[in-house]
Structure 1
């Protein structure tokens, strides 16, 4: 493994995370104060760029879909798909949703209902606040986040398969800056890798707290470091084994299982919950979402000195951007053999529609029980935490004794499904020699190392510092990731005017020289000579 490792990608990220964890344990208050201050600085100075960037990518995706570029086949006209469309969609859906949407679609609407932005003059719990709450859920969880993932994933897919670039985030920048950008590939990949590993740790910590809360429904015990350690260990072992078994086995099978469980869960709540209210409120609020899309998407709170966008929309955009570069590597790699138009349907349009349906069911149900019954889910949220809202909602539905244990299992599978795909991408990013013609990937040891690192960071943070600390670490990667993605989108504009640049036969293989020394100046010089 030592000979195949990309040292300039692996070691900086590994050592920075170890250092951050050590500092957080040594001085918790100072660590949180410093990371919070850095995050506030990023949001204060670049909130406008996050909002513009998110809208820009969605608009760009629409332009691509209806352009000539939509007919281009990823990998060339003779490329064969590595996945069937149903399996491809289930992997895409489940590796991007993760466990967060399962719990936040019931908890987040309550925040917006009871604490809407002050600058908008909405009264808490009012009709306008209800519509604001639901339309905000569509904004945060449907088309915009999937566009942030889909566009860079498409750029990478075309660069990797059609332009024969190496497995690196810098490959997305090569069409804009030329082969010389490869000399910085180690730095670029390490930066994105750091953001993703920290993000996975925060999500794993949140997932562990959620599962511990569900277990507490039966045991009545408190969430202890020992319990969190056991849960995190089981999750890490499962997703590492899944990732190690490969794309066609572990990842694909878990994704299919997860998609099926989510479908069953959604149908059950739709049928047994306030069905008519869900449909009516979902349709009405989706209309509000469409009507106010640009106004709300570009809302920074500057005019009214309102901090709400920092806490919610812009905070979300930073998270999505931080995860997007490495997620793009995985989503792009599994898309060979399909056209660009098919890619956008499977990676943006269909998952976003699924999210719209999910929000219509679960967010509407949460608001219904809060507004029209004696169940005070908002008190549950404030007193017990986000993870208990969904369990409390299911207590009001038939067969809750059966469904709550199943919820625990679905939450477990949801996180594992997302984590194994990211572990696969992380391992590949740290490995030399992966090419568009190679079916292989990184070895098991690399995935074990990063899986263990994610688990250790998640356990230490949740047990001693709290999940906010590692979230801050992840979010700090949002700004450089945003810049990388916006620069990479320049490749799309080149290809829109010159689709022939994506002709596989016209792009000689560059993998052989790039694979020998991904991060050295020698490899950059070789590429420069070939370009000349």
Structure 2
């Protein structure tokens, strides 16, 4: 391994354009903050007002094609060939997949988002009404269960097949290899990787900012320290150091052990809410909300608010779709990498059905508790959210439960480890794409490259929170949306090609 490690070098045409553009973004904020705000706001407006409908259509298309792929002959093909042995056991595979995708998001938004929908629903829904309660739960399922994981699963399937079964390079460009045929796509791969690295850096910075805000609120709840920009900077620096150190241990050490520990923390949190919270209410409302979500999934997923001139969809649904799309191309590289040795059908199960099911349970329990506390008058979570921010909602709920101080501590640890694991895995994939010599699942990029990506992502996150607050999370998500949308669409077409004739492309039968 050491001999292969020394041969790894930066891919200059991939790394430097993305890195320099991100550095210039940071510099622009300090040199001319008004210009920075103007440019990012224009990008946001374009994504939400002009092409938001494209993201909605793409989400539904990904959902449909993933389910179709599960039942086709493609599902029986094993990544790496019939003799390939898995590199991760299934329980580890589950833990890593869950904690490196959207788990940091569900910990932040699971309690705060339904309160926002209760108080500020779209046109046609009366605030704080029974309709608003049902709408809030349905929106949670829409934004955090099957559609997000469909966004990730489509490019992951294509990359996994292309890298392990078509002998294509370790490049995001491999996610469109089936439609490229036998063409030499090396120049295309370089261009795609450079652009996607920029888009993912903005997307992961958005999630970094979410986690930092969440941890800031947690520290405030535990210690009384002010939840402000200074706190965010301290948390961001410490978090960057820790996840970089974990990344230095390699994929099959640091991430694996952190992920296992984190899943157990999730189980403790779920059990605490079920035992100490409004159990009957949460499961009854969750059942009703899930039924409404399934029966109206296309209406909800394709809702743009245009008819009523309402901005709710662009502020929430389009924000999420752009975020998932920005993450998807590089997250797919990581998810496919750890799926070696498993069949496509098993990969769909582990990357789509199981984590979406877990998220459904989480939102039922955590979101249902949040709604109950607000509607029953036990806590005025709307006022807490408006005064202290979204991050304060979860800790207010935990503090209201028996053993609140202990639960807050456990929750805060889970938030931190979730963030570290997700950032570790993504920078791992980004660093691999930026580096030559990644030839197998065990290969690792140099720690220096991982550190560089970690530092710049942390800077972007802190800047977004400092300048825009919570809106900064959304704006960063919008910046990477367009290139990711294009790659996502090409990956979708590539998966159709694979479904139609998998054996034509399979070189490892």
Q: Verify: 1:24 aligned to 2:15, yes or no.
A: no
Q: How many Å separate the matches in 2 of 1:124 and 1:357?
A: 25
Q: Verify: 1:163 aligned to 2:166, yes or no.
A: yes
- Per the TM alignment, residue 426 of structure 1 is displaced from its structure 2 partner at its CA by 0.9
Structure 2 gaps, min length 5: 1-5
Q: How many Å separate the matches in 2 of 1:208 and 1:132?
A: 28
SS in 2 for 1:166: coil
Contact 1:94/1:418 (<8 A) preserved: yes
Q: Which residue of 2 aligns with 1:210?
A: 214
TM-score (norm 1): 0.91
Query: Quick one: structure 1 residues 12 and 300, their matched pair in 2 at CA, closer, same or farther if it must change by over 3 Å?
Result: same
Q: Please show how residues 367-446 of structure 1 align to structure 2 within 5 Å.
A: 367-435=371-439, 437=440, 439-446=442-449
**Segment drifting more, 475-484 vs 50-59:** 475-484
Superimposed CA distance per residue, residues 430-471 of structure 1 (whole angstroms, 9 cap, x where no aligned partner)? 001222x46212111111111122223333443455453464
Superimposed CA distance per residue, residues 90-113 of structure 1 (whole angstroms, 9 cap, x where no aligned partner)? 100000124221021100001111
Q: How many Å separate the matches in 2 of 1:15 and 1:116?
A: 40
Counterpart of 2:108 (choices 103, 112, 126) is 103
Q: How many Å separate the matches in 2 of 1:472 and 1:364?
A: 28
Runs of 4+ in 1 over 6 A off after TM superposition: none
Counterpart of 2:63 (choices 51, 54, 58) is 58
Q: How many Å separate the matches in 1 of 2:477 and 2:280?
A: 40
Q: Verify: 1:278 aligned to 2:268, yes or no.
A: no
Q: Verify: 1:305 aligned to 2:309, yes or no.
A: yes
Q: How many Å separate the matches in 2 of 1:248 and 1:216?
A: 34
Query: Quick one: structure 1 residues 464 and 498, their matched pair in 2 at CA, closer, same or farther if it must change by over 3 Å?
Result: closer
Q: Which residue of 2 aligns with 1:90?
A: 95
Q: Which residue of 2 aligns with 1:221?
A: 225
Q: Verify: 1:364 aligned to 2:331, yes or no.
A: no
Contact 2:7/2:437 (<8 A) preserved: no
Counterpart of 2:141 (choices 112, 132, 138) is 138
**Segment drifting more, 199-208 vs 423-432:** 199-208
Contact 2:8/2:445 (<8 A) preserved: no
SS in 2 for 1:180: coil
Contact 1:90/1:256 (<8 A) preserved: yes
Quote the RMSD (CA, aligned, Å). 1.7
Q: Which residue of 2 aligns with 1:517?
A: none
Q: How many Å separate the matches in 1 of 2:25 and 2:470?
A: 14
Q: How many Å separate the matches in 1 of 2:257 and 2:393?
A: 29
SS in 2 for 1:373: coil
- Per the TM alignment, residue 76 of structure 1 is displaced from its structure 2 partner at its CA by 0.8
Q: Which residue of 2 aligns with 1:525?
A: none
TM-score (norm 2): 0.95
Contact 1:202/1:470 (<8 A) preserved: yes
Q: Verify: 1:181 aligned to 2:185, yes or no.
A: yes
Q: Which residue of 2 aligns with 1:522?
A: none
Contact 1:105/1:363 (<8 A) preserved: yes
Structure 1 gaps, min length 5: 507-532
Q: Which residue of 2 aligns with 1:523?
A: none
SS in 2 for 1:91: helix
Superimposed CA distance per residue, residues 354-388 of structure 1 (whole angstroms, 9 cap, x where no aligned partner)? 00000000110000000113310111011100111
- Per the TM alignment, residue 503 of structure 1 is displaced from its structure 2 partner at its CA by 2.8
Number of positions where the alignment pairs a residue of Structure 1 with one of Structure 2: 503
